[in-house]
Structure formats: C-alpha cells, structure tokens
C-alpha cells in the first residue's frame, strides 16, 4: 500500500474494446495484423479514475489469452471481486484475484488501473513508485516478417535512420539465416537480436547455429514455451545467448529457467507475468544475480508503453527493450501526448500515475460495440 491513502473504494469498472489501425501490417508468431485490437480498463473510485491496458491480442496466437477471453473473464469473474470493495490497493489486488486461475493479462490490466488511480490520487509518478534510476531509456524496435530480404533491409534502414539503438528481427523456418545475414552485412555495427516465438525444435539446432557468426545480442524463445530442458540443451549448443519470453510467467518460472541454464537473458513483459508488481519482483531477483534483462513489447498503446518505459528505467534493465515511439505502429494513439523518440531514447513519464492522459475522443472513435 502506498501509505498516503486509505485505499481505493472501487465504484465501477468499465471496459473499452478498440480497434486501432496499424501503419503497416504486422506478421509474427502465426498472426497477421492490420489493426491492433485493444482492451482498456477504466476504474472509477472514491479517489478518481485509473486506467489499465490488457496486453492480449485479438487471437490466441501469442498466448492462450486473447481479448475475448480477457473481456469475459474480467466482466464475469475478476471485476466482481473488486467492485464495491473498500480499502483496495494495488498490493492487495493479486491476492483478491488469486482464486481465479491463470488469466494473467486480464489481471494485469486491473492491477494497472488500481496503480494508476492510487498514484494519481497521491500525485506520484509510476517511475518514482517503482524506484526508477533513469530519466530516459534506450529505445529498441521490433520488425516483423518481411515479404523479401530487400523489404526487410529497407525496414531496418528506416528504423536506424530514426535513431533506434537496437533492432529485433522476427524469424521462422526458411526466413532466418539468409535475411538476418543480409541485415548484418548492411549494418555490421548494429545491436541486433532475433525472436523465434517458439518456431523451432531441437532438430533445428545445427541450422540455428549458423546465426552464431552474426554477432547477435541473443536469440529469443527458439523452442516451445514449455520446453525448458530443450532450451537448456540449446544454450549448450549455441554460442548466441538464449533469451526466454513466453516461458517466463512468474518469479518462480524465471528462477527455474535461469537455474537450469535454459536462458541467459530475460525478456520481461508485465502482462505476461500478471502485472507490474510481479514484474518488479522478477526484476529484483534478476538484478541480485546480474541476469541481463530488457522490457518486451506487445504493440501497446501510449498507456501501456508509458508504463513499460517507467519499468525499463529500473537499474536491472541493461539491454534496450521494445520501447518504440507511438508513431512506429499507430496512425493515431489514444493518449493526448504520444510517446516520442529523441536521440534514440524515450523520456520516462513524470506525471502522476502512468504519466499520460487518455484521449477520450479517440477512444470513442475507435471503440468497437
């Protein structure tokens, strides 16, 4: 509990299901998006409002959670546990929602809304609450599967010209060694990493080892999310460091993966682990053991992006994360001041709560029935 409020008396929880046009189609992990559907949570209370964003996609191609399941779970099972409760604070939310199994992204959105509400009431920024040590963070960008090697190199060149300090390339079978090699040859000094989204098996290790000569920061989630032993074997075989994403859903899962040698680097996504409080616990565990970390992205709007930037300002985040500017993906963001890039970095929000104000007109414009 923050200590300077009596807690939140939650009066209502409203859900907003939006469809935001993307600047260009996004293809990765089995999905193809022309629009990013977004589920927002607005909490109304005695202390004012708070907003949260659910990281789930419209379809379950990244995780078992998707917007339809998150919306129903919040409406039928999670929100009733919070609405009407007196003295709620962010620290108590995980315990209140624990009887509902799983649904971490849905729970994260509610925790985020409570955090935003209580921090706004206290006049405190999320970055200060977390203990951020930087006022700007290095920006990295993710690039999806391209139609051709030339298209991919052009996309990377555009991002490098914009000032991004690290580029992540999505890869899959038959779209890996050749395009990544072409990018490396064109940008020999670029901080470069790849993300497989579990597209490979142990039978592919000899093939993946061809990436070792390209000086990559890491290869992210090469095998299926539940194959920790397989990732440990991959880490022994490959010179490129293994980073895990989908496999890491809690502090316990992170401890297990690191301990058995399944990963050397951690990609931390708050929605995937159930919220920012669990993300902070994972950060602290990794920081104590000098495990390299970076903050992953889920094509968030300016709301989720601002919160992730604050998280990435903690001292344990030693690698640039997926923290691109709003305009990288969206023609129109839903916050009044979109996240912007300057000299390859993004400013950590300093306003109360998550540090951004919602553009209600835009939210209503892109809202689905």
Distance of CA 350 to the CA centre of its chain: 20
- Torsion region of 101: left, alpha or beta (phi above 0 gives left; psi -120 to 50 gives alpha): beta
CA distances from 159 to 124, 168, 234, 344 (A): 34, 11, 30, 10
Our separate counts of H helices and E strands in the chain read 14, 12
Element holding 77 (H helix, E strand): none
- Torsion region of 197: left, alpha or beta (phi above 0 gives left; psi -120 to 50 gives alpha): left
What would the DSSP string read from start to end of 111-124?
Answer: HHHHHHHHHHHHT-
Helix spans in 264-329 (H): 270-273, 276-288, 302-312
List, by residue number, the catalytic residues. 170, 269
- The sign one gets for the Cα dihedral 71, 73, 76, 79 is negative
Per DSSP, the three-state class of 293 is strand
Helix spans in the chain (H): 67-73, 79-82, 93-97, 104-122, 126-130, 149-162, 177-186, 205-208, 228-237, 251-259, 270-273, 276-288, 302-312, 360-365
Which among 215, 221, 162, 163 is positioned nearest to 195, based on CA atoms?
A: 221
Per DSSP, the three-state class of 48 is strand
What gap in Å lies between CA 27 and CA 180, rounded to an integer? Answer: 16
DSSP conformational letter for 185: H
């Amino acid at each position: 509990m923050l200590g300077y409020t009596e807690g939140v008396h939650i009066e209502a929880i409203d859900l907003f299901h939006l469809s935001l046009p993307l600047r260009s189609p996004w293809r990765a992990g089995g999905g193809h998006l022309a629009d990013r559907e977004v589920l927002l949570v607005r909490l109304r209370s005695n202390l004012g409002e708070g907003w949260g964003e659910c990281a789930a996609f419209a379809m379950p191609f990244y995780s078992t959670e998707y917007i339809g399941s998150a919306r129903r779970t919040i409406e039928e099972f999670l929100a009733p546990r919070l609405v009407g409760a007196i003295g709620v604070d962010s620290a108590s939310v995980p315990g209140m929602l624990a009887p509902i199994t799983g649904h971490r992204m849905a729970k994260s959105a509610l925790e985020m809304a409570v955090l935003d509400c209580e921090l706004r009431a206290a006049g405190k920024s999320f970055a200060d609450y977390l203990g951020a040590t930087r006022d700007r963070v290095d920006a990295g960008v993710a690039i999806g599967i391209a139609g051709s090697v030339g298209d991919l190199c052009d996309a990377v060149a555009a991002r490098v010209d914009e000032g991004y300090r690290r580029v992540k390339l999505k890869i899959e079978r038959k779209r890996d060694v050749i395009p990544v090699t072409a990018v490396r040859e064109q940008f020999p000094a670029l901080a470069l990493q790849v993300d497989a989204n579990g597209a490979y098996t142990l039978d592919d290790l000899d093939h993946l080892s061809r990436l070792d000569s390209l000086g990559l920061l890491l290869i992210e989630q090469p095998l299926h999310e539940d194959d920790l032993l397989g990732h440990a074997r991959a880490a022994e075989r490959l010179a490129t460091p293994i980073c895990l994403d989908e496999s890491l859903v809690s502090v316990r899962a992170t401890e297990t993966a690191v301990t058995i040698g399944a990963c050397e680097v951690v990609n931390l996504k708050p929605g995937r682990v159930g919220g920012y409080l669990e993300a902070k616990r994972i950060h602290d565990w990794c920081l104590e053991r000098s495990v390299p970390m970076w903050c992953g992205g889920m094509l968030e709007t300016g709301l989720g992006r601002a919160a992730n930037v604050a998280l990435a300002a903690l001292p344990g985040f030693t690698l640039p994360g997926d923290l691109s500017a709003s305009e990288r993906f969206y023609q129109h963001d839903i916050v009044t001041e979109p996240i912007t890039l300057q000299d390859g970095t993004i400013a950590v929000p300093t306003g109360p709560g998550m540090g951004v104000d919602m553009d209600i007109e835009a939210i209503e414009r892109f809202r689905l029935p």
